[in-house]
């Protein structure tokens, strides 16, 4: 399979996940990298009227995850661990996470993510470890 076809299938798989009906993200997957964006909305706010950490965490994990899975063409990868550092609050506007693989081996993939606002100011950063699972990338999980 050509890499571009794999990347597009990963994008379709991501967008078909039910949780993304709420977040309404965009995604672009490449070779060892992924970029995911959402628009911060009032529905994402905590009691102090800024975006809740759940949105930060999701973007950090998703961008790192898809950067990792871009290098694995036959199975779904699993997040083993994820560290997130929230560095700035956001109330509204674009939130864009860029993930990139920094280490790849047969059993372990490490990826880092930076999350920025629409002006390029850092909102958060994180790193995660991922491993290949036994879940095949098939149309049944949205990989089409």
Phi, psi of 12 (to 5 degrees): -65, -40
Domain count, the chain: 1
| CATH number of the domain within which 44 lies | 3.10.129.10
Q: Which of 34, 21, 23 shows the shortest CA–CA distance to 128?
A: 34
Containing domain of residue 44, as a range? 3-141
Instruction: Give the single-character DSSP code of 143.
Output: -
pLDDT tens, residue order, the chain (144 aa): 579 999 999 999 999 999 999 999 999 999 999 999 999 999 999 999 999 999 999 999 999 999 999 999 999 999 999 999 999 999 999 999 999 999 999 999 999 999 999 999 999 999 999 999 999 999 999 999
């Amino acid at each position: 399979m050509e890499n571009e076809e794999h990347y597009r299938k990963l994008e379709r798989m991501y967008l078909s996940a039910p949780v993304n009906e709420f977040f309404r993200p965009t995604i672009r997957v490449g070779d060892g990298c992924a970029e995911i964006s959402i628009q911060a909305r009032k529905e994402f706010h905590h009691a102090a009227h800024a975006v809740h950490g759940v949105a930060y965490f999701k973007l950090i994990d998703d961008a790192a995850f898809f950067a990792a899975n871009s290098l694995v063409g036959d199975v779904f990868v699993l997040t083993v661990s994820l560290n997130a550092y929230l560095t700035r609050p956001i109330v509204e506007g674009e939130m864009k996470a860029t993930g990139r693989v920094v280490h790849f081996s047969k059993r372990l993939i490490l990826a880092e993510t930076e999350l920025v606002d629409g002006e390029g100011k850092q909102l958060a950063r994180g790193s995660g470890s991922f491993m290949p699972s036994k879940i095949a990338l098939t149309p049944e999980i949205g990989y089409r």
